[in-house]
Amino acid sequence: MTTATVHLSLSDAHALAVRILEHNGFSAAHAHAIADTVVAGERDGCASHGLYRVLGCVHTLKQGKASGDAEPAFHRMAPALLRVDAQQAFYSLAYQQAVPQLIEIAREQGIAAMGINNCVHYAALWRDIEAFTAAGLVAIACTPSHAWVTPYGGSQRLLGTNPFAFGWPRPDGRDPYIFDFATSASARGEIELHRRAGKPIPEGWGVDEEGNACTDAAKVLRGAQLTFGGHKGSALSVMIELLAGPLIADMTSRESLAFDGGKGKTLPMGGELVIVIDPKRFLGEYADQELARAETSLFKVMEDDGVRMPGARRYRNRAVSQQQGVDIPQALFDDLNALL
């Protein structure tokens, strides 16, 4: 059975997102920043972080715990430390405004760290990272979410799906090396998409409310997700809770869920930590030589061996979408238009 779809150019998709967001109470600046984020997701074939997220943004705003128009506030805490208070608004605007500042600080200091606080986070981290690799910088980013995941060996929902992303700039116009994954076995949005499509999820993604292994998407959404990689993914997830929680004085995933009254019906509220390194400051006159060595000693070997690079799927989708636009499910298109 084929699913009905609607074809949109990227500019039509952007205009639709802006119209819905403004109509539902977001300021023009926030609506454009969120539309930039979700259309980039749709463009790159990341449906779970594409236009679908507009539904969650509007729903979260309507619950009254987030702001649709707050202006981010910037505080330089130390020469290499930037703190951004998103003032309980959606993170995209704060992030967009912070990027040039963080690039400047990284170029000045060699390394820069930023905590974005009090933000609704709903996006894929690769886009955050790309802003820095495009400037020739190395970057990592992480954020907690809602406590949907049980730590290895436990049974309680304590950890978020907690994504972690890393980016390395590559010379000569090559696409950057960027990986970006949830430390849960899957992103929660993927489980929601399976539920919407009535499809079972793969084994190992989660457990039901009694802690039994389960492939029913709806039951796992009521139960708990699992981390990838057993105790290793679990420890990485705890690290993210610490780095983008107490280290930047923001909420853990469990606190974010409690902020939502334990329901998890709204998007996570909390912080994101970003660390950016300038190879030119680290390596001085040797920077170009070392970036070239990374090409020959790592990436060329991988590419010659036929290794699929993280990001390759996205860059391929992007090239097609930029020419041809995107197809979104008719049901999603209808849900979006119901918000107008």
- Residues designated as active site: 48-49, 190
The string of DSSP codes covering 319-336 is HHHHHH-EEEEHHHHHHH
Residue 306 CB-density burial (10 A; 0-12 exposed, 13-18 middle, 19+ buried): exposed
5, two tokens: 């779809």
d(CA 132, CA 125): 12
CB of 92 to ligand NDP, least distance (A): 11
**187 versus 207: smaller Cβ distance to ligand NDP:** 187
Helix (H) or strand (E) holding 115: strand 111-120
Beta bridge partners of 265: none
Examine residue 117 and tell whether it contacts ligand NDP (CB under 6 A): no
Among 23, 313, 319, 324, the residue binding ligand NDP under the rule CB under 6 A is 313
Q: Which is nearer to ligand NDP, 50 or 223 (CB)?
A: 50
Among 311, 326, 328, 333, binds ligand NDP (CB under 6 A): 311
| Residue count (the chain) | 340
Among the listed residues 314, 321, 326, 332, the single contact to ligand NDP using CB under 6 A: 314
β-strand pairing of 138-142 with 111-120: unpaired
Min. distance of Cβ 290 from ligand NDP in angstroms? 23
Region near ligand NDP per CB under 6 A, out of 66-74, 119-127, 211-219, 280-288: 119-127
Of 15 and 299, CB closest to ligand NDP? 299
Partners of residue 112 on adjacent β-strands: 276
Residues between 237 and 296 with contacts to ligand NDP, criterion CB under 6 A:
268
Applying CB under 6 A, among 126, 148, 177, 333 the residue interacting with ligand NDP is 126
**Residue 308 binding ligand NDP, by CB under 6 A:** yes
Edge-to-edge strands, sheet with 206-207 = 149-150, 224-226, 206-207
Segment (H or E) for 84: strand 81-90
Q: Which of 37, 118, 143, 253 binds ligand NDP (CB under 6 A)?
A: 143
Does 116 bind ligand NDP (CB under 6 A)? Our answer is no
| Token pair listed for 232 | 């290793």
Shortest gap between Cβ of 124 and ligand NDP (angstroms)? 3
Residue 89 beta carbon to ligand NDP: minimum distance, rounded to whole angstroms: 15
**Could you please report the per-residue DSSP string of 121-163?**
--S-THHHHHHHHTTT-EEEEE----S-EEPTT--S--B---E
- Residue 182 in the binding site for ligand NDP (CB under 6 A): yes
Give CA–CA dist 73/89, Å, rounded. 11
Token duo for residue 97? 């405004």
Least separation, in Å, of the C-beta of 273 and ligand NDP? 13
Least Å distance, CB 190 to ligand NDP, is: 6
CB of 312 to ligand NDP, least distance (A): 5
Sign of CA dihedral 18, 135, 180, 298: positive
Our CB check for ligand NDP shows the closer of 72 and 311 to be: 311
Binders of ligand NDP among residues 54 to 113 (CB under 6 A) are none
The residue range among 9-17, 64-72, 98-106, 303-311 that interacts with ligand NDP, by the rule CB under 6 A, is 303-311
Could you tell me if 3 and 326 are in contact, meaning their C-beta atoms sit under 8 angstroms apart?
A: no
161 vs 321, beta carbon nearer ligand NDP: 161
Asked if residue 186 binds ligand NDP (CB under 6 A), the reply is: yes
By the rule CB under 6 A, 180 interacts with ligand NDP? yes
Q: What crossing angle do the helices spanning 28-43 and 52-62 adopt, rounded to 10°?
A: 150
Report residue 244 CA to chain centroid gap: 13
- Residues in contact with ligand NDP by the rule CB under 6 A: 49, 121-126, 143, 145, 161, 163, 179-182, 186-187, 190, 268, 308, 310-314
